């Protein structure tokens, strides 16, 4: 069997999803627990649901050796206690208008390639990837959708209009906030009156503006931190905070003045707000194009999350289910055939290092947080 790039991409409360790539038309037999699934290449998407929560299950792809991407056993997520309050979907780094993928600054393509582009006759890859994600979110039917920045590539009105036209399909449940790419020309493009709160089912989504216009660096000013603290005092239910930029590594000795996330001082000040308010249960960002979770003693060990980008490998979005006693995060890979084709091409970027960087460990993509 010549299957490659086999990955357990998603583990939920009652489901396991595996992706793999192989020769066109070739059959792959997969087993998750006692369930057998047969798929045909080139793109194998193995979905098994109806599994019991918080239970170890075996994962086997016939003829494919287990490794750190394809573990022999996984554990379904624990379901938090109590009633389901809300379901939320998030997306980030969608980059409408982008035409080159994999270029960093002035680094030559032969040094850190490949740099990839849509092929002749193909639609622009941001349109391909976002169309797939929009369809999947629409099928989920969440209570709210938050797109947390980098809606555009260059920050033009035309790119922003393309974003609004595509994501407008999701209707009134859609909320969005700008990222650094969106404020490179017009410092007010896509500002969208952030910070703002979205209330769904007793859950509050606090959407913050972390952009410093004209740069890739982030900040969170005193007024927004005060707004978040006031919101936490006013609300009794859980608050999930969202912004484009991730926080600095709290407690690190080096304090770079040009850090490309939220600067150290503002990161520490945000952590202080989280520390003082038990109902702020996590902060969720994009910007880094990777899946990662960090926890800090200075912020009550709540998760500070980064979710990978939509526009290229692994081509993801995130689903949150918030219960009375906690929430689950599940990162999902866009799985239409054209989206999978593009993400298989882009996994090899940055001299083949992108897969390890972007995908992240399974437990930093899918986890349960309780309170």
What CATH code is carried by the domain that includes residue 30?
2.60.40
Domain match, 177 and 207 both: yes
pLDDT in tens, 294-309: 999 999 999 999 999 9
Answer whether residue 111 shows pLDDT above 90.
Answer: no
Domain match, 188 and 237 both: yes
**Residue 149: left if φ>0, alpha if ψ -120 to 50, beta else—which one?**
left
Q: Give the residue-averaged pLDDT of 240-244.
A: 98
Answer whether residue 109 shows pLDDT above 90.
Answer: no
Residue 1's pLDDT is what? 57
Residue numbers of the domain that contains 349: 84-370
Residues 102, 347 contacting (CB under 8 angstroms): no
Say how many domains are in the chain. 2
Domain match, 111 and 50 both: no
Q: What is the CATH number of the domain that holds 243?
A: 3.60.21.10
Domain match, 257 and 351 both: yes
Domain match, 32 and 153 both: no
Query: Which residue, of 58, 75, 92, is where some domain finishes?
Result: 75
Domain match, 97 and 220 both: yes
Domain match, 163 and 25 both: no
Question: What global pTM score does this model have?
Answer: 0.96
Domain match, 114 and 68 both: no
**Percent of the chain scoring above 70 in pLDDT:** 98
Domain match, 279 and 183 both: yes
pLDDT in tens, 44-99: 999 999 999 999 999 999 999 999 999 999 999 999 999 999 999 999 999 999 99
Domain match, 43 and 88 both: no
Domain match, 102 and 24 both: no
Query: Which residue, of 15, 46, 75, is where some domain finishes?
Result: 75
Domain match, 62 and 159 both: no
- How many Cβ atoms from other residues are within 10 Å of residue 117's Cβ? 14
Query: Which residue, of 49, 75, 101, is where some domain finishes?
Result: 75
Please name which of 220, 277, 223 lies closest in space to residue 247, comparing C-alpha atoms. 220
């Amino acid at each position: 069997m010549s299957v490659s790039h086999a990955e357990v991409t998603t583990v939920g409360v009652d489901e396991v999803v595996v992706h793999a790539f192989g020769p066109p038309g070739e059959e792959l037999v997969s087993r998750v627990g006692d369930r057998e699934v047969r798929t045909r290449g080139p793109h194998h998407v193995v979905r098994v649901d109806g599994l019991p929560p918080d239970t170890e299950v075996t994962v086997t792809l016939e003829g494919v050796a287990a490794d750190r991407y394809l573990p022999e056993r996984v554990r379904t997520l624990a379901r938090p206690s109590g009633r389901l309050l809300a379901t939320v979907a998030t997306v980030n780094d969608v980059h409408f208008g982008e035409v080159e993928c994999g270029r960093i600054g002035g680094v030559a393509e032969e040094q850190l390639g490949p740099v990839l582009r849509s092929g002749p006759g193909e639609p622009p890859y941001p349109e391909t990837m976002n169309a797939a994600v929009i369809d999947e979110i629409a099928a989920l039917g969440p209570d709210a959708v938050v797109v947390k920045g980098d809606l555009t590539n260059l920050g033009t009105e035309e790119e922003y209009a393309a974003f609004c036209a595509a994501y407008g399909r999701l209707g009134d449940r859609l909320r969005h906030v700008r990222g650094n790419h969106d404020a490179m020309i017009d410092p007010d493009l896509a500002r969208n009156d952030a910070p703002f709160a979205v209330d769904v089912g007793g859950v509050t989504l606090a959407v913050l503006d972390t952009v410093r216009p004209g740069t890739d660096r982030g900040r969170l000013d005193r007024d927004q931190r005060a707004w978040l603290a006031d919101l936490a005092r006013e609300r009794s239910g859980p608050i999930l905070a969202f912004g484009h930029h991730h926080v600095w590594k709290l407690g690190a000795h080096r304090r770079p003045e040009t850090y490309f996330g939220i600067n150290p001082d503002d990161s520490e000040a945000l952590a202080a707000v989280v520390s003082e308010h038990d109902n702020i249960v996590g902060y969720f960002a994009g910007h880094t194009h990777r899946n990662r979770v960090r926890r800090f003693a200075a912020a009550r060990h709540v998760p500070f999350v980064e979710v990978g980008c939509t526009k290229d490998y692994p081509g993801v979005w995130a689903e949150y289910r918030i219960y009375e006693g906690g929430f689950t995060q599940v990162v999902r890979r866009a799985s239409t055939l054209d989206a999978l084709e593009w993400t298989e091409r882009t996994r090899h970027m940055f001299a083949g290092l992108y897969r390890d960087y972007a995908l992240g460990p399974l437990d930093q993509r899918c986890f349960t947080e309780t309170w």
